Amino acid sequence: MVYAISLSAEELDDIDWQLQLDQFMGKTMGSSMRPRDLSPQVTLVFARIRPASGTADPAYQLRWLGVVKHPKGRKIATRDALIRVEPLWRSPARVELAAVTASLSREDAAELTSMLSSEVAVLPDELGQCLVAALRGLGPRFAELLDHLTSVANQAPFDSSRVEDRSWQEQYDSARLALTIGEFPLAPLSAWLRPPSRHDTYLAGLIPEPTEQSLIEHDAAHSMPGPRLLRPWDGPDFRCDIHVFEHEGRYIEVANVNATPVEGRLGSDLIYYHEATGSFVMVQYKRLPSIERWVYVDDRLRDQLDRLEAVAQASRQPHAPHDWRLGSDPCFLKLAYWPEDSQADPGGPAAGMYLPLSYVRLLLQDDCTLGPNGGRRLGYSYADRHLINSQFVELVKHGLAGTVGTSREELLALGSERALEGYSVTIAAELGDGRLPGETVRERQRRAHSRKAGKRQAKKRAPATPSKVGKSKPALLGDQMSFFEPDERSPG
C-alpha cells in the first residue's frame, strides 16, 4: 500500500523551502480515507500542474517521497485526521507521471490518474507495488532512496513490555527533545532498526541516509563525521554512540552513553549543552503508567532528587548578560507519557509534565501530593502547574534556564558519572564558541526571536550553507521519455 498526496504546483512551490528545512509535512485526511492497514507506508507527493487550456486534464509531477509512520494520524475534527510524512525527501528528479505510467497497464494508469485528482489517496496494494517498481526502474538513485524509505516503513514499533524497548524509547525522546530545542529537523532520528544487542544505545540502530542523495539533494540536515566537543567514553563498561547533525550551518553532537546492562538501569537522562553560553539543562525521565498517570515518591526517587541537587551545584554566579537565568534550576523531572496506542503520532517529544527540581521539593511538602494512604505521589492530578513541551523548549532555547559557566570537561565528567550510576544518558551539545562553526549568543537570540513558537514562515532565499555539491535546476524526467504541532494537552 502506498499513500499518494497531490497538491497544486503553486502550493508546493510556496512551501518548498520550508519542506526542505523541516523534512516533514502534515496533511489533513478524511476519516473515510483511513486505511485498514495501520502499518507505516511509503508516501509519494505529486504536484498538480494546471494545463494551459482550461479544458485539458491536469498533469502530475513527482516532487517528494517519504513515509507516513502513523497512518491513523492525529484526530483534529470529527471527520478529519492529520497525518505526518516524516522523513520527507526531495525526489532525485521531477518525474512526469507519463514517465511511470508508460510501464503500467492501461487500466492501472487510468486508475492512478483518477486517484490523483484527490489530495490524499490510498493506492490499492497491487497498484502501489507497480508504481514503486516503475520508480525503481528510473535509476539507482531512485532505487537507493526507495530502499531507505522501505527500511524506515518496515521498522518494528517499540514494545513497552520489553525493558530494552522502553529504554530505547526514552533515548529516542531525549534526542528528539534536544533537536527540537536547537531547531534541528527530527527526520534523521526516525530511520531506525533494532540494534544487534538489547544493551546497545538507540543511536546504534540509526539507518544511514542514502549517501549520494544526501550530498546532492538533502544537504539541509545529514550526519557529519568527526565530533569536536564530545568524544567516545573509554572503558570496557561503556557503550557509546555519537552522531553529528548539521542544519543551516549549525551543528549539534548527540551521544547515547550507558555503562550497565539494560535490566540494571535506573532511568534515562538528557543533558542539553549550549557551548556558546557554557550552559546545560538536565532532564531526568520518569515514566508515567498508561492508566494511573502518576508515580509513587519512594526512597529511590528521593535519593535521585538529592543527586540532582548535587548536579545543580555545578552552576556558577552570572557575570555577563547572557548568564542571567529566570531561576537557579538547571535540573527538571519529566513525567513522560506514552499512550498504549502505538499508532498515535506524537509529532515531537512525548507528552509529559516538566517539573523544576525546586518546585518538586515544594510539591512534596504540600498536601496536594498526599495519596489516600499517606504516601506521596507525582502526576497530573497532584500538581496544579507544570511546564509542557513547548514551554520548556522555549525556556531553554532562549537561554532562560540552565547552568552558568559549565566547561566541556565538567560536562563530560557529569555524563560519565551519571552513566556509571546506572542511567542511560543522552548528551546533546549544540556547537558554537564564536570561533568554530556554530552560533554566537547574539545569533542564537536572533534566531529564537525570529521563529515564534517554532511557526516558521517559508522564506524563498538561498540556503545559509552552500551545498557540498553544486546545485542546478532540478532534473525533469518525462518530457524526454514520451506539515503540526504535537497535541500537548494533559492526557485525560
Strands 80-96 and 250-258: unpaired
Same-domain status, 172 and 279: yes
Q: Is 111 exposed, middle or buried (0-12, 13-18, 19+ CB in 10 A)?
A: middle
- The amino acid present at 213, given as its one-letter code, is Q
Residue 40 near residue 154, CB atoms below 8 Å:
yes
Q: Is 460 domain-assigned?
A: no
Same domain, 50 and 108: yes
- The predicted model scores a pTM of 0.82
Q: Is residue 212 part of a domain?
A: yes
189 and 140 together in one domain: no
| DSSP states along 277-308 | GTEEEEEEEEEPPTTT-EEE--HHHHHHHHHH
Q: Is residue 73 part of a domain?
A: yes
Note whether 291 and 388 are same-domain residues. Answer: yes
131 and 173 both lie in a single domain: no
Rounded to whole angstroms, how far apart are CA atoms 2 and 310?
52
* pLDDT value, residue 314: 85
138's grid cell: 528510473
Coil, helix or strand at residue 21: helix
Q: Are residues 230 and 331 in the same domain?
A: yes
Phi, psi of 428 (to 5 degrees): -120, 120
Domain annotation covers residue 404: yes
Q: Tell me the per-residue pLDDT of 227-261, one tens digit each, with 9 for 90 and over.
A: 888 988 877 889 999 999 988 888 999 999 999 99
Amino acid at 345: D
- CA 427 to chain CA centroid, Å, is 16
Position 65 in a domain: yes
Domain ranges, residue 344: 163-453
95 lies in the same domain as 233: no
Say whether both 347 and 436 belong to one domain. yes
Distance CA 447, CA 188 (A): 22
Q: Establish if 393 belongs to a structural domain.
A: yes
pLDDT in tens, the chain (492 residues): 799 999 999 999 999 988 988 888 999 887 777 777 778 889 999 999 988 766 678 899 999 999 998 887 777 877 788 889 988 999 999 999 989 898 899 999 999 999 999 999 999 999 999 999 999 999 999 999 999 898 888 888 888 889 999 999 999 999 999 999 999 988 888 888 899 999 999 999 998 777 544 434 444 444 455 688 898 887 788 999 999 998 888 899 999 999 999 999 999 999 999 999 999 999 999 999 878 899 999 999 999 999 999 999 889 999 988 899 999 999 999 999 887 755 555 567 999 999 999 999 999 999 999 999 889 999 999 999 999 999 999 999 999 999 999 999 999 999 999 999 999 999 999 998 545 556 677 777 777 777 553 444 444 333 333 333 333 345 555 543 333 334 444 454
Residues 57 and 115 in one domain: yes
361 domain-assigned: yes
pLDDT 10s digits, 65-95? 999 988 877 778 777 888 899 889 999 999 9
Judgement on whether residues 234 and 328 belong to the same structural domain of the protein: yes
86 lies in the same domain as 221: no
In a domain, residue 461? The reply is no
Same domain? 146 vs 184? no
Domain count, the chain: 2
Task: Tell me what pLDDT residue 408 has.
Answer: 93
